[in-house]
Every structure is written in C-alpha cells, then in structure tokens.
Structure 1
Amino acid sequence: MKTKFKHILVILCLSMISCKGNLEPELFDQITPENFLTNEDDVKTAVTGVYAEFRGISEWGRYKTSWGSVMTLQEVPTDLWAANWFYKAHTDFMWKATDYFVCEIFEFFVPAITKATALIARIQDAPVSDDIKNRYIAELRVVRALWMYDLFDLYGPVPAITDPEKILNPTQDFTVTRPSREEYITFVETELKEVINAKILPVAWTGSDYGHVSQATAMMVLLQLYMHEGGYCRNKHVGDYLDYFKKAEQVAKDIMDLQYYELQAEFKDIWSPQNQHNNEIIFALPSFPIPVMGNNFLAHVLPTDYKSQQGIPLTGWNGFRTPWEVYDSFDPADKRRQVHKTEYWNGKEMVTGRTGTLEYGALPMKYQENANTDGTNDASEYVIYRYADVIMLRAEAKNEIFGPDGGGTPTAKELLHQVCRRSFDNYDQTDHKKKIDQITDIDAFRAHLLQERAWEFIWEGKRRSDMIRHGVFISNAISRGKNLAKDYHELYPIPQQTIYELKIKQNDGY
C-alpha cells in the first residue's frame, strides 16, 4: 500500500510542469526540498495542473460532451436527451459497474482529489508569502469540494483521500474506505464554509485568472449540497429536510446580495461568442480553438451536411438532439425555444421537417457558431454554473419553506418571474405568467419549477439531479417505457475494478 501511494504521488507530480523563459520544462517528478514549489510561479503552475483535471488529456472533456462526462451522466438517462447515436445501455437503465461511461468520472476525479490534497500540504510548506498560500489553498479546497460534491451526487460517498498524511506518509496498514453519508457531507460543507467565511477569494475573477474558482463558486457548490440533501431528506423521510432548504435559501440570498451577478437581457447571449465572461456566469471552463482546450459541443450537434451561412468551417458529427416532445412543450413565445433549431442550411437548401437528420429532435445550439474555431474545437467558454440557477434554486427552497407566495419579498413566485421575464416579450401580459400566478400550493409549484428548469437548463447537465431531488427520476423513466429503471439507479455503481482493489462496499443493486 505504501509503495502504491508513493507511485500515485510521483504520477501527480509529473503533471506539474513549469516552463521557463527558454521553454525548457522544469519537471517536478523528483521531489526534493531544493526543487519542489520553490517560488510563486511553481505554486501557480502546480495549481494549474489541478485545474487541468476538469478537462483531462483528451479533447472530449470530463465536464463537457464525451459519453461518460459529467454532462452526459446527468442528461442521457432523462427525458431531455435524444441523439442520432444510440446509448442504449445508458438511456434504458442497463448500465453496469464495468461500463466505461459509468467508470470514467470516478476513475478521473477520485485520484484528482488525492492530487489536490497532496498539493495543499505541499503549498503549506512552500517558501512563499502567506497571501499566496492562502489564495491557492483556498482555491484547491473549493475545487476539491466541487469534485467531491459531483461524485457524491453521481455515486454517493466515495473513498476520497482528504488527509495529506495518508498520501505523503502512508503506512503499511492503511486502507481506503467509503465514509458515511454524514461524514462525507460534513467534510464538504465544512471545507466550503471555512473558505467562504474567510473571504480570501474574490467574488469573481477577471483577466488571466478568469476560470479559477471564486467566492461565488464556493457558495454555489454549498447551495447545491444543501438542495441535494433537502430533497434527499424529504423524499426518504429522514432528517429535517426544511433545515437544509433554509440553509440553501440563505446561501442563495447571500449570492444575490453580492450584487455582482445578473441575468443577461437575452437568453441566447449567455453563450454568445461576442459576450464571453458575462456576469451571469459564475464558473466556466475557458476554451481555445485547439484540441483538449476547445469546446466541441457544437460539433456533437451539427449534422454532417450543415453549412454555416457565415462561411465558418464547421465540423458536424450529427449527434445531440432536443427531443421533439420537449421542443413542443415550450410556449411558442418563449425565447428559450429559439436556441433549439428546427432547420439548417446544407449548402443547397434549407433542411426542415422531422425526418432524416432531424428525426429525433431539434438542434440544441446554446453554443453558437464561433468564428474562432479550428472546425471542431471553438473558443466558447463552457458554462458550469450561472446566476439563473441561483435564483431558481432560491425559489425552490422558499417554496418548500413558505409555499409559493409566503416568506416575504421576494416570494418563490417573484423569484421565478425574474428568470422567466427575459424570455418573453410583454411578460406581465403572457399566459405563462398567468399560469404561474394561479399556482397556490407547494406541490404544484414544485412540479412547475421542475418543468421551468427543464426549459431553462436543458443541455447543461442538471436534469438527472433535478429529477432525483424532486423524487421523479425513476417514475418518469418508467412512464417513458424504461421498465428496467429501479430505485437503486438513482446512483451509478462504483467501478468494479475499484471494488476488487479496495475491497469497499458497492452501491445497493449492483
């Protein structure tokens, strides 16, 4: 075991490369007091190596579009997914603990958490100023907590190593275990609250630091954790679910009270290539038009015969589609529907209808044509968290506590109206607003919020979590003919190889 962990440490340090002015790389594969983290540049480079785990080493992206990414794990088994490629094992709830699309995120980010933990300890001993130490340690704690939350949502408590002593000085009898749910939640919550309360990180980063986690990122992860547990406790009839929703409502309010983030006036402008780094985005992965660093979501969408009317050379893999039944569920006046294209130019004519390349649905084009592209990878930043989610989660929490009209201004309804207003002309006179205003009870408003979240966040990697929190993930699957769906499918299995190697308990049902 000790040898194994030393091997892990060497591997993680191999990725920490600092390029000098003469472009000769300094490799941190030989750990000595003389060459490991000797200055601020070394620390910054090492931290950049941890951020690189969001992307991985291929152009498919662990948080983006590859089958097995966080986005596809959250979207594929839901009612919002369609594609010209059939992921039958995933869409039909037939996944196993040996399927690579189930295993990849676990196998990437559990070691990434170890990497972050080790680096936190190394920075504490580095000969740099306290300001530098505090900043980068705070960032690493938030990144680690973010990954731990996402893994928790997908797999339940995972065997994350958060004690640096167990990495840097492992003993022969050290074993890895899965913590209890309470232990895991408490650790993530404590990490985030300590960073938030210390106010070390800025509300948002700009310039060359854009893409780093911020104070608001930490608050966003904590908000998600509280909402997750509020839904879990309510659905499973355990614990005080209202306590979690009260905590969530307060965190969402705190983010709003920062008075930095705001909704974009036009829905489509959130992802516009001309409107990058806008103030609706809380956390995003910056992109560049090169493999690994690029955003290839659009390539996953476009038909192979798609031609840009702006003359932009674009690659199309004829994949992702917004199901027609989802497209048809939008109010025709809802501008959110406009980012799902029902026709396209093939160089000779407009392709329309619901057959051929459009048989399974419309083209989800939140990510738009970007002239800054190599054809496949473009420079559109990949959005992870945005401000509309804060407002809608606060509405959801307030509804659970007070109902749709209680709890003082802003009420849950008023919060939802804030988000919906930008998507309709003359919103106050619309049937959409009238329908919301007519809802009077908690259950009905909860159900409507889930529908609004579908219209707002489709293709953003939230649907599975939303449906589980609302207690309808499995029932919805069965209603769509996915008769193999069982309650245990609310979690993915721990990879079988991990079960064999670490002798830990598998999730129920697998």
Structure 2
Amino acid sequence: MKRLNISISNILPIRKAWLGVGLLLALSSCTDLNEQLYDKVSQDDYGKTQSEVATIVGGAYATLRGYGSGTPEGNGVNCYPTCEYVFFTQECSSDEACIPTRGTDWFDGGRYQQYQRHNWDANNTGILSIWRYNFTGVSKVNAIIYQVDKSGLTDEAKNKVKAELRGLRAYYYYNLLDCFGNVPISTDFTEKVLPTNSTRKEVFEFIEKELKEIMPLLPSGVTYGRFTQNVANTLLARLYLNAEVYTGTPRWQDCLDACDKVQGYQLTPNYKASFAIQNEKSPEIIFAIPYDHKQGTVGNYLASMTYHYNQKQAFDPAGVYQWCGNGICAQPGLYSSFDAQDVRRNSLLIGQQYSAKDGSEVLMDNGEPLNYTEEIADFTNAAQNAGARLNKYEWSATDQWERDNDWVLMRYAEILMMQAECNFRLGYIPTALTYINQIRKRAGLTDLTSLTLDDIDTEWKHEFVFEGLRRTTNIRFGTYYNVWWEKPADPADHHTGIYPIPKDELDKNPNLKQNPGYVN
C-alpha cells in the first residue's frame, strides 16, 4: 500500500483525505463559473478544527483526479478526464499520439480525427472536458478556501492552508492559460456576477503573482503529494519557459532562476522507476496524483485505453486481465525516431505479442497475429494491430481496472531539460550541454558535443513521451503548425495554438467571448 509521509498536525493531505471527502463530493461542479456553491457548503460545525480542515484540504487535492459523472464528454457515461479526455486531446493534437478509427470503434463523432487534423470547433467534447476539468478544480478550490476562512484556525494557520489551495488553483489556471488563453479569473466563491474573459497576458500575470505571493507560506523541502515550494517553482518555471508564447515576451532567465530553486530531487538510475506500480518511491517525482485501488481511488485507466482487446493473454496466464479498449497509440515515425539503444524507446510496445500461459502467438479476433506495427495504413479505418502502444507505466498481471501507478505531473528531468533549453536560448551552449547530457546518459546514449534547437526538441519528445507535455513543446518550437502525418498545415493566423471556448460554456454565460479564429 502506498503511503504519504505527512502529518495531520501540519494540515497535510493524507491519503484518506485524497480519496473520498463527503463535504467536497457534496459540492456540485461549477465549470461555467455561474452556479453558486456557497449555499451548498456545509453550515454545521465541521471544519472548525485543525484535523477537520486537513481533511477538507485533502479533498481539494482529490480534484486532480477529475470527476466521474455522466457528462457530454463521455456521451453520458462516467469518465475521469485526467487520463482520458484531457490527456487524449492534448496528446493527439501533438505530433506524438493519435486515436485511429478502427472499424466502428473510436470514431465518437469525429473528435479524435479533429485532434489529429487541427480542425476542431467549439462543439468538440474533448475540448469541453479540458475546460470543465480545470474549472471544476478552480470552483471546488474556491469553495474550500471559503470554508477555511470560516474555520476556527488562526489567521496564520489559515494563510498557510490557503497557500496550498491557491497553488492548486494556479496549477489549474496554468492549464487553462496553455489551452484556452483568454479565460475568466475567479477567486471569490460567493461571486454572483457572470464572469468575463481575461486576456491571456492577464491570466499569465495572475498565475505569476499567485505563485510568488504564496511561495514563503508553502512547505519547503520534499514532501510527496503536496503543493510545496518545489512544486510552485516548477510550475513557475513552466510559466516562464512558455512566456513568449503566452505574452510575446521571452523569460528564459526567469525560468532558470525558478529551476535553481527546485532542490532535493535526482534522476533515478532506471528511467522507468518513476512509472513503476509503486512509483511514489521515486526520488525524481516532484508532483504526482496518488492512486491505490485498495483505497478506492478511481480514474487511472490509461493502460486500458491503449492495449488491444486480447493483450490480456500476453499479460495474464489465466487470460482474465482487465478489459482493454484498443484506442490511443503512437503516430507513425515516433518509435523509429528513437535510437535503438535508447531505453526510453521501451515506453512504446511494438511487435508480436505472445501468450503468458504457453508462449504461443496471441491472435486478434480475426485470427491474425497480434503484431503491433508502427505504421498505420489508414487513419480512418485502421487495422486492430496498427500503431505502437503506450507502454510507459509498469503493468502487472494482477492489475485492476484502476491502476495503482501514481500519475506523474512533474519530475526532475523536466527541470534539467528547462535548464538545457533556456541556457541554449541565452547562448550558453556548453552549460546547456551539461544538462541535456545528464538526460541522455540515463537513457543509455552518448554525450552530444554540439547542440541545436532540433536536438533539444528531440530530447523533449523522447524523455517525456506520453506525459502530456508534447503539445506545449510543439507550440513553443513552432512545429505545431507544420504539416505532419495525417495533418495539413494550420491556418496562417495560427489561431489553433489555443482551443475554442466550448459552445456549451458560451451558451451558459453570455459574458464570455469566443477566442479569435473560431465561431460560436
């Protein structure tokens, strides 16, 4: 069983508090920032003591897993968008992954084909899921801050608790800044006025200001599963790394300064240790979402969305492994872009699959061998075995539908890559090489002796394959708008660098304006 090294007395999110919090679950979603939640916050005496407030704060962390109600994103079926719709939309709009239509499977109104071809509109339900996931988190954090303010804690204790909550809210707003740009900023739980858009620059400045203000109040050092100064500085570094995209002004040195403040982590000798079933032991992970099926967590089922239906025969001698959906896979060319000796290539599964019971070839339903191919001959009518599969997180024959691997949001390798890129962009090439070669050495590769932006882009792609960072990297390097597999060049105005505000949200709030380049 996974454990967090934390103490109730310090208002920390213990694992049970991460799981099911009655008060938090009683709060309805407020993704359009319209519905007023303050009348639904418990008005009894709960939340007055330090330990009770700790439980409530743990509930705020639990919002990172998403929600499981029947929604338009899932066609009325329960979904947890962290590892499904949010991840799918981000990855499949990059040059990394795709979800081919396989016969009658995985068409779903054409949304996955829209991701690939960058021809989405305001009705795309995956884009709606990104909006709702993040604004649900914002709304619930605002509600919990409201209750903390009403608690019996001292003002000093309240400010420390609220610092972590504001940090989580800043994380959600960073996602919204990256994906939508011009979004409403809401911090008042009791606000009744329908909000209007803020500019992308204003959202950037809000996140920066929040992170700087809370920094002295956050816990220092390394604490797993908690929003600490290290997490805040990593998020601030991400903000500055992409500042030129977000505001028009590069902030490379500011990114380096934030990276320098992240302390206490190291690369694991084994690359895949950060994605093991018990990956909470990794000294590389800066921030993650804990999962443990024994504790009743739900929402981590990415593995089931990538493997072929009959992959269970290769994983489990009894052939009763959890259901697999045969969906998301790598785009052609990704697997072969890795050097043969690069250990990170094992993040993709390719080739013939063999029975764990007797070593025989696993077959597909049509009787042909289950042999994963890198190539996908027909994106709109793909073979069942087409596409290398996502194989980054460790699996076990005893896996449940809800995996026990914690979902990695930030790890130390990202700090090193940000230091490499920013030093390069500032002209400090030898320094940039020292950072990028640390990454390459762990991957089993020889040191680079010279460096280009293409080299840096490649290392980002290989080091963080299927970690949800690729779309942002594509945009920062300008490759997002290029022609690639099954994708034409984007429109000349590059408006696709942010998503449209979903029509469902525009219909609810007439004060919102659509992003440039899109129609309502």
Q: State the TM-score, normalized to the length of structure 1.
A: 0.80
Q: Which amino acid aligns with 2:328?
A: F
Counterparts of 2:57 and 2:90, CA distance in 1 = 27
Aligned pairs for 1:57-456 (under 5 A) are 57-58=67-68, 60-64=79-83, 66-67=84-85, 69=86, 71-84=87-100, 85=106, 87-130=112-155, 132-162=157-187, 164=188, 167-168=189-190, 170=192, 174-196=193-215, 198-205=216-223, 210-232=224-246, 238-239=248-249, 241=250, 244-255=251-262, 258=263, 260-289=264-293, 293-306=298-311, 307-309=313-315, 311=317, 313-343=321-351, 344-346=353-355, 348-349=360-361, 351-352=370-371, 354=373, 359-370=385-396, 373-374=399-400, 376-405=401-430, 411-424=431-444, 427=445, 430=446, 433=447, 436-439=448-451, 445-456=452-463
> How many residues in Structure 1 have an aligned counterpart in Structure 2?
445
Q: Deviations over 1:36-56 (max 9, x none)?
A: 522223322322332232223
Task: Note the C-alpha offset of 1:358.
Answer: 6.8
Q: Deviations over 1:84-129 (max 9, x none)?
A: 4452122122211122111122123224313322422431331024
Quote the residue 1:40 is aligned against: 50
Task: Note the C-alpha offset of 1:221.
Answer: 1.1
Q: Are 2:479 and 1:489 aligned?
A: no
Q: Which amino acid aligns with 2:221?
A: V
Counterparts of 1:31 and 1:364, CA distance in 2 = 41
Counterparts of 1:30 and 1:320, CA distance in 2 = 39
Unaligned runs of 5+ in 2: 1-21, 28-37, 69-77, 101-105, 363-369, 376-381
Counterparts of 1:54 and 1:469, CA distance in 2 = 25
Pick which of 308-317 and 73-82 moved more.
Answer: 308-317
Counterparts of 1:352 and 1:32, CA distance in 2 = 55
Is contact 1:298–1:368 with CA below 8 Å preserved after alignment?
A: no
Quote the residue 1:7 is aligned against: none
- With over 3 angstroms needed to count, the CA separation of the structure-2 counterparts of 1:332 and 1:358, relative to structure 1, is farther
Counterparts of 2:347 and 2:305, CA distance in 1 = 15
Quote the residue 1:23 is aligned against: none
Counterparts of 1:313 and 1:246, CA distance in 2 = 49
Q: Deviations over 1:160-207 (max 9, x none)?
A: 312x2xx3264xxx34111233322221101111222x15313332xx
- With over 3 angstroms needed to count, the CA separation of the structure-2 counterparts of 1:215 and 1:415, relative to structure 1, is same
Q: Which amino acid aligns with 1:467?
A: N
2:59 aligned counterpart, secondary structure: helix
Counterparts of 2:336 and 2:42, CA distance in 1 = 62
Counterparts of 2:409 and 2:191, CA distance in 1 = 35
Is contact 2:420–2:433 with CA below 8 Å preserved after alignment?
A: yes
- With over 3 angstroms needed to count, the CA separation of the structure-2 counterparts of 1:232 and 1:185, relative to structure 1, is closer
2:242 aligned counterpart, secondary structure: helix
Pick which of 345-354 and 97-106 moved more.
Answer: 345-354
Task: Note the C-alpha offset of 1:131.
Answer: 5.7
1:502 aligned counterpart, secondary structure: coil
Superposition RMSD in Å: 2.7
List structure 1 segments (4+ residues) > 6 angstroms apart after TM superposition: 355-358
Is contact 1:284–1:385 with CA below 8 Å preserved after alignment?
A: yes
2:402 aligned counterpart, secondary structure: coil
Counterparts of 1:390 and 1:263, CA distance in 2 = 10
1:273 aligned counterpart, secondary structure: coil
2:409 aligned counterpart, secondary structure: strand
Q: Which amino acid aligns with 2:91?
A: E
Counterparts of 1:320 and 1:250, CA distance in 2 = 37
Counterparts of 1:189 and 1:144, CA distance in 2 = 12
- With over 3 angstroms needed to count, the CA separation of the structure-2 counterparts of 1:34 and 1:287, relative to structure 1, is closer
Counterparts of 1:50 and 1:127, CA distance in 2 = 19
- With over 3 angstroms needed to count, the CA separation of the structure-2 counterparts of 1:298 and 1:447, relative to structure 1, is same
Task: Note the C-alpha offset of 1:274.
Answer: 4.4
Unaligned runs of 5+ in 1: 1-11, 18-27, 406-410, 440-444
Counterparts of 1:131 and 1:265, CA distance in 2 = 41
Counterparts of 2:298 and 2:467, CA distance in 1 = 19
Pick which of 143-152 and 77-86 moved more.
Answer: 77-86
Counterparts of 2:50 and 2:278, CA distance in 1 = 34
Counterparts of 1:395 and 1:192, CA distance in 2 = 23
1:282 aligned counterpart, secondary structure: strand
1:115 aligned counterpart, secondary structure: helix
- With over 3 angstroms needed to count, the CA separation of the structure-2 counterparts of 1:216 and 1:60, relative to structure 1, is farther
Counterparts of 2:391 and 2:413, CA distance in 1 = 18
Quote the residue 1:21 is aligned against: none
- With over 3 angstroms needed to count, the CA separation of the structure-2 counterparts of 1:40 and 1:16, relative to structure 1, is farther
Q: Which amino acid aligns with 1:188?
A: I
Quote the residue 2:379 is aligned against: none
Task: Note the C-alpha offset of 1:298.
Answer: 1.4
Is contact 2:196–2:512 with CA below 8 Å preserved after alignment?
A: yes
Task: Note the C-alpha offset of 1:148.
Answer: 0.2
Counterparts of 1:109 and 1:275, CA distance in 2 = 25
2:287 aligned counterpart, secondary structure: strand
Task: Note the C-alpha offset of 1:294.
Answer: 4.8
Q: Which has the higher helix share?
A: 1
- With over 3 angstroms needed to count, the CA separation of the structure-2 counterparts of 1:494 and 1:13, relative to structure 1, is farther
Q: Deviations over 1:186-242 (max 9, x none)?
A: 21101111222x15313332xxxx422222111111111111113455xxxx44x2x
Counterparts of 1:102 and 1:379, CA distance in 2 = 27
- With over 3 angstroms needed to count, the CA separation of the structure-2 counterparts of 1:358 and 1:496, relative to structure 1, is closer
